[in-house]
Amino acid sequence: MSGHGNNERVFARLTKSERIQHVILFTSTTLLIITGFMLMGEDWVVRMLGPTGKSIFYWRGIVHRIAAVAVSVVCFYHLFYVLFKTTGKSWIRDMLPRLKDGVDAYQNVMYMMGLRKERPKLDRFTYLEKLEYFSVYFGMFIVISTGTMMWTQSYWPKFYLDVADALHVGEATLAALAIIVGHIFAVHYNPHVYPMNRAFIDGNISETLMKEEHSLWYERLIAEEVSKPANTPEGGHGNA
Amino acid sequence: MHNSGRANAPKRFLVHLVMLAIGLLLAVFCIWLVYLTYFKSSHGEALAKKVVSRQEMIYEPFHGVDESVHAGVKSKTWCLKCHEDYAHSKSKEVRGMLNAHSFFMACEVCHIAPKEGERFEYKWLQRGTNTPLTALNGRPGEYGGTIIPFKVEKGVSRRLDENQEAQQLLDASAAKDSDEDLQRRKMRLNTDIHKGFSPKPIFCDECHREKGPLDFKQLMYSPQKTQRLTFGEGANIIKQYKDFYLPTLTRSTR
């Protein structure tokens, strides 16, 4: 368990809109991974399904397409969100890569190897979170464009479709492994948050976790609080 | 505090159990993905072939190119004397596929459908020698034969793709363009030749099915190929998609 007490002070980490976007993203991505990799299923599993397999695979295609539309909509909405909404602008501003991220990465590796005594002070988004976030942009661009090509296959020459297919499968494999090994570990199996980081449900992060994972951001919020006691509840800076 | 900790023990155990189960499931899935990507040769090879080589792709349904096309071997059916090698030209969506068929089968296979009570049989005959093939060796198009339809009447098989009079007349009229009598006979024969032809040819899904006019087993196709030609991928595509499409991306605007 995370070991944080129930009465511990919490800080707002995700807004309601961000949480809804995340729920749609992870639900549809899970469906896409399951229904997509079903096509790579082992022959003996497919044979085992017998006649039911035909209807399962019929629905597989429909579910895959519905999930694809959902993930595309949420991606385009997210672009709109970070470009035009106040909280979104604050999100993308804090998410943009900086030179400090490189320094943080180096110092953190040194710390984990025991060659440095203190962990670097990390900001609202760590270098790993930024890497993961922008990987989603890259991945979504690949899978949405190639998926659209395969959905409208009658308009494309076969060679283009074969390239699209290879890219779609390759990127999906990379994304699935990155989500499971990187993201799921970070938000579920990391000892600091085990069994789960509840920010995706209630939008909050505990003070202990703030100090452990985002100490620079924590210090800044406390300093702001001292100079200006009233905090905004939205925008990721409020405290509860 | 101590009691509450003890009371929470089963709950914590359950959480650990669920997390362990999920973790194991995800680990197995990750290992399978790595296996698919790096170790499952057929998958890796399929991906590589798709992008790198067209050698295997050309045998896939709808993108199949018969070896005879590469080799420049023609069925030499006498219809092509007038209709030329690429006889099908009306529908650009399907003409490529139909012309590909006419490289290895006589036109009469599709254009003369057996009427009620009539019995047809289809055989591979070696090009040039006209002797029946005993086996299909090599890749499609390398068999060296043409599928010929025969009409069986009173125990006697008659080739439907032969018309001696027409053959002689065509050869003679080609040599003597100025002979009006020959040209008149040619025009009359033109009507006679096409009398036996069905107004509507046999379409793809009428042949590519079980118990269709062509018995693929009798035509010496392997069981796998027979399955593919009847209920396999190609035939399913025919059943599912009655309309054919051509890619528009690279289509010339002229």
User: Is residue B232 classed as helix, strand or coil in its secondary structure?
Assistant: coil
Per-residue pLDDT averaged across A191-211, rounded?
Answer: 93
Say what the pLDDT of residue B251 is: 59
User: Is residue B120 classed as helix, strand or coil in its secondary structure?
Assistant: strand
**pLDDT above 80: residue B84:** no
Sign of CA dihedral B114, B120, B126, B130: negative
Mutate to test the interface with A, among B13, B36, B49, B53 (most CBs of A within 10 A): B36
Q: Domain residues of chain A, as ranges?
A: 10-227
Nearest to A176 among B33, B50, B250 (CB): B33
Residues of B in contact with A184 (CB under 8 A): 26
Per-residue pLDDT averaged across B107-114, rounded?
Answer: 89
Residues of B in contact with A158 (CB under 8 A): 57, 63, 247
Q: How many CB atoms lie within 10 A of CB A75?
A: 20
Residue A104 DSSP code = H
Strand order in the sheet with B119-126: B119-126, B145-153, B156-159
A163 in contact with chain B, both atoms CB, cutoff 8 A: yes
Say what the pLDDT of residue B68 is: 58
- Number of helical (H) and strand (E) elements in chain A, helices listed first: 10, 2
**pLDDT above 90: residue B164:** no
Which is more confident, B154 or B139? B154
Say what the pLDDT of residue A236 is: 46
* B156 to chain A, closest Cα gap in Å: 45
- One-letter amino acid of A137: Y
Say what the pLDDT of residue A157 is: 82
Could you tell me the two tokens for B114? 């057996």
Say what the pLDDT of residue B174 is: 64
Say what the pLDDT of residue B26 is: 95
Say what the pLDDT of residue A234 is: 44
Q: What are the DSSP E strand ranges found in chain A?
A: 10-12, 204-206
Nearest to A162 among B30, B33, B50 (CB): B50
**pLDDT above 60: residue B222:** yes
Nearest to A157 among B30, B57, B249 (CB): B249
Cβ of B50 within 8 Å of Cβ of A165? The answer is: yes
Residue B131 DSSP code = P
Please give the Cα distance from A180 to A132 (Å, whole number): 12
A185, A186, A192, A194 alpha-carbon torsion, rounded to 10°: -40
Per-residue pLDDT averaged across B32-42, rounded?
Answer: 80
- One-letter amino acid of A110: M
Could you tell me the two tokens for B53? 């080589």
Please give the Cα distance from B239 to B231 (Å, whole number): 10
Per-residue pLDDT averaged across B24-32, rounded?
Answer: 94
| Helices B233-240/B223-230 angle, 10° precision | 0
Instruction: Quote the pTM value.
Output: 0.62
What top-level class would CATH report for the domain A10-227? mainly alpha
Q: Which residues pair with B148 in a beta bridge?
A: B123
Q: What is the pLDDT of residues A34-81, one digit of tens each?
A: 999 998 887 788 778 877 887 888 899 999 999 999 999 999 999 999
pLDDT band at B64; cut points 50, 70, 90: low
**pLDDT above 70: residue A238:** no
The answer to which of A7-11, A100-104, A113-117, B17-21 has the lowest mean pLDDT is A7-11
Say what the pLDDT of residue A52 is: 84
Mutate to test the interface with B, among A33, A151, A155 (most CBs of B within 10 A): A155
C-alpha separations of B184 from A13, A85, A94, B170, B176 in Å: 93, 84, 89, 12, 12
Q: Considering chain B, what is the average pLDDT of its residues? A: 76
* Top mean-pLDDT range of A176-180, B59-63, B239-243: A176-180
Mutate to test the interface with B, among A169, A179, A187 (most CBs of B within 10 A): A169
Please give the Cα distance from A35 to A61 (Å, whole number): 7
Q: What is the CA radius of gyration of chain A?
A: 21
List, in sequence order, the alpha helices (H) in chain B.
2-34, 41-52, 67-71, 80-83, 95-101, 108-111, 164-175, 180-195, 204-207, 223-230, 233-240
What chain A residue is nearest to B31 in terms of C-alpha separation?
A177
ipTM beyond cut 0.95: no
Q: What is the pLDDT of residues A135-176, one digit of tens each?
A: 999 999 999 999 999 998 878 887 888 899 999 999 999 999
pLDDT band at A230; cut points 50, 70, 90: low
Please give the Cα distance from A104 to A127 (Å, whole number): 7
Q: Considering chain A, what is the average pLDDT of its residues? A: 89
Percent of chain A with pLDDT over 70: 92
User: Is residue A8 classed as helix, strand or coil in its secondary structure?
Assistant: coil
Sign of CA dihedral B134, B137, B141, B144: negative
Which is more confident, B143 or B65? B143
**pLDDT above 90: residue B47:** no
Which is more confident, B234 or A134? A134
